[in-house]
Amino acid sequence: MSGTHYATEILKELERLLTRISNTELETMAELVLRSEKVFIAGAGRSGLMGKAFAMRLMHTGRQVYVAGETVTPGIGPTDLLLLCSGSGETGSLTVMARKAVRIGARVGLITIKPESTIGQLAEAIVQVPASAKEDTAASGAAITIQPMGSLFEQGLLLCLDALVLTLMDMEGITGADMFGRHANLE
């Protein structure tokens, strides 16, 4: 298979994956975002990069958004949401954050392959992105993707988060122009 054929195959994988994501779960997550004063986003590695892309768009919708671990990020409080992006739902640093957020009384949201995971058990709202786990794609036969590791999850995660932004725009009557007005002007 050549480069563009791979890209076409990836699109087919994503189409199959996205039809298996629940609208109800997405809407529940959108409602949780709207009910929270501040939204803190966290994820490790590539999952974290997708989370950061979402954090920017969520800021564009007018919400108070922070990426956990950045120097200017304040503390989380009981009226806030910690939204975690983790395929496994078991990543150590994120599990620690989730436990701390729960202890403080904040809500935890999770986008994951594994709702039954440690973080899943701490989360009030979960959107399941039913891709292959990163370790399964390394083992022959177990995967539903031709891609290595967590790539299918991470791509599905980004699309799912962009769908969440559109859902929030619908719910709040926000336009793309409103959002563009909030974009960074020191680029």
Please, what is the angle between helix 151-172 and helix 45-60, to 10°? 10
Stretch 122-161: interaction string toward ligand LJD2ZHX5, x if CB under 6 A = ------------x--------------xx---x-------
Per the rule left: phi > 0, alpha: psi between -120 and 50, beta: everything else, 122 is alpha
How far apart, in whole angstroms, are the C-alpha atoms of residue 103 and residue 129?
27
Binder among 17, 42, 47, 127 for ligand LJD2ZHX5 (CB under 6 A): 47
* Block residue for tokens 């002007």: 185
**Residue whose beta carbon is closest to ligand LJD2ZHX5:** 45
For position 46 contacting ligand LJD2ZHX5 by CB under 6 A, the verdict is yes
The distance of closest approach from Cβ of residue 65 to ligand LJD2ZHX5 in the complex, given in angstroms and rounded to an integer, is: 20
Stretch 79-118: interaction string toward ligand LJD2ZHX5, x if CB under 6 A = -------xxx--x---------------------------
CA distances from 186 to 14, 29, 53, 56, 183 (A): 35, 31, 18, 14, 9
* Pure H helices in the chain: 3-18, 23-35, 45-60, 92-104, 118-122, 151-172, 176-180
The yes-or-no answer on residue 70 being catalytic is: no
Structure tokens at 53: 């892309």
Catalytic residue among 9, 116, 124, 154: 154
Return the residues of window 67-86 that contact ligand LJD2ZHX5 according to CB under 6 A.
86
Return the range that interacts with ligand LJD2ZHX5 (CB under 6 A); candidates 45-53, 54-62, 65-73, 122-130: 45-53
- Coil vs helix vs strand at 155: helix
Which positions are catalytic?
Answer: 154
Interacting residue ranges for ligand LJD2ZHX5, rule: CB under 6 A: 44-47, 86-88, 91, 134, 149-150, 154
